[in-house]
């Protein structure tokens, strides 16, 4: 097992596992700060609590915490634990990389477009009828849904990679 590619692949896997940790830390700081600002700035709190679609800004905050902080921590932990638990490498390092990038692009897009929809809805709701506000917000939420689909795809890739990694673990474990 001294082939150079094995060592390089192991280092690359370790790097991506740590990138999930770094993303978790980054998203947690963003999410926690966002929450403090929403709670601590009365005008901001009023906007998200009382304006049309202001709650979409809260959803952005929730998603950055759940899909960014919590889910990234879970991904990193499981990517670390599973190979050690079953005594074999991850099925596909390429899928780990694809998972990381698709998830991050999807999450950032969701948060950005949730926020844009909330701001547009909240500001336009002051001067426009509800039907007009809905016409403005609906396509923004449609784009947000596309990014949400990317997050779902990333989670499916993650699940597939883990399933393929773990399938038949008993046979390979008996050989150890």
Q: Does the residue 100 lie in any domain?
A: yes
- Mean pLDDT (whole number) for 109-132: 96
Tokens standing for residue 57: 């800004």
Give the pLDDT score at 172.
Answer: 60
Q: Which of 71, 61, 57 is nearest to 20 (CA)?
A: 71
- pLDDT of res. 12: 92
Q: Which pLDDT score is estimated for 176?
A: 52
What spatial distance separates the first Cα and last Cα of the chain, rounded to whole Å?
A: 15
Instruction: For residues 61-77, give the mean pLDDT.
Output: 97
Quote the pLDDT of residue 6. Answer: 58
Are the C-beta atoms of 10 and 90 separated by less than 8 Å?
no
Place of tokens 């947000």: 144
When divided into structural domains, the chain yields a total of 1
The answer to whether residue 173 is domain-embedded is: no
Considering only the C-alpha atoms of the chain, give the largest distance between any 2 of them, rounded to a whole number of Å.
71
User: Which pLDDT score is estimated for 69?
Assistant: 97
Instruction: State which residues form the domain around 14.
Output: 4-166
């Amino acid at each position: 097992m001294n082939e150079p590619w094995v060592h390089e692949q192991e280092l690359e896997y370790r790097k991506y596992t740590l990138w999930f940790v770094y993303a978790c830390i980054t998203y947690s700081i963003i999410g926690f700060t966002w929450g403090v600002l929403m709670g601590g700035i009365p005008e901001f709190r009023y906007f998200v609590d009382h304006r049309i679609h202001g709650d979409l800004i809260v959803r952005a905050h929730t998603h950055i915490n759940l899909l960014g902080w919590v889910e990234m921590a879970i991904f990193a932990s499981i990517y670390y634990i599973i190979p050690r638990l079953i005594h074999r490498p991850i099925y596909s390092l390429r899928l780990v990389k694809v998972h990381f990038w698709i998830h991050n692009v999807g999450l950032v897009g969701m948060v950005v477009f949730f926020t844009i929809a909330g701001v547009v809805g909240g500001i336009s709701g002051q001067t426009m009828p509800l039907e007009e506000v809905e016409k403005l917000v609906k396509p923004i939420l449609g784009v947000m849904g596309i990014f949400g689909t990317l997050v779902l795809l990333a989670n499916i890739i993650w699940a597939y990679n883990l399933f393929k990694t773990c399938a038949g673990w008993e046979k390979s474990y008996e050989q150890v």
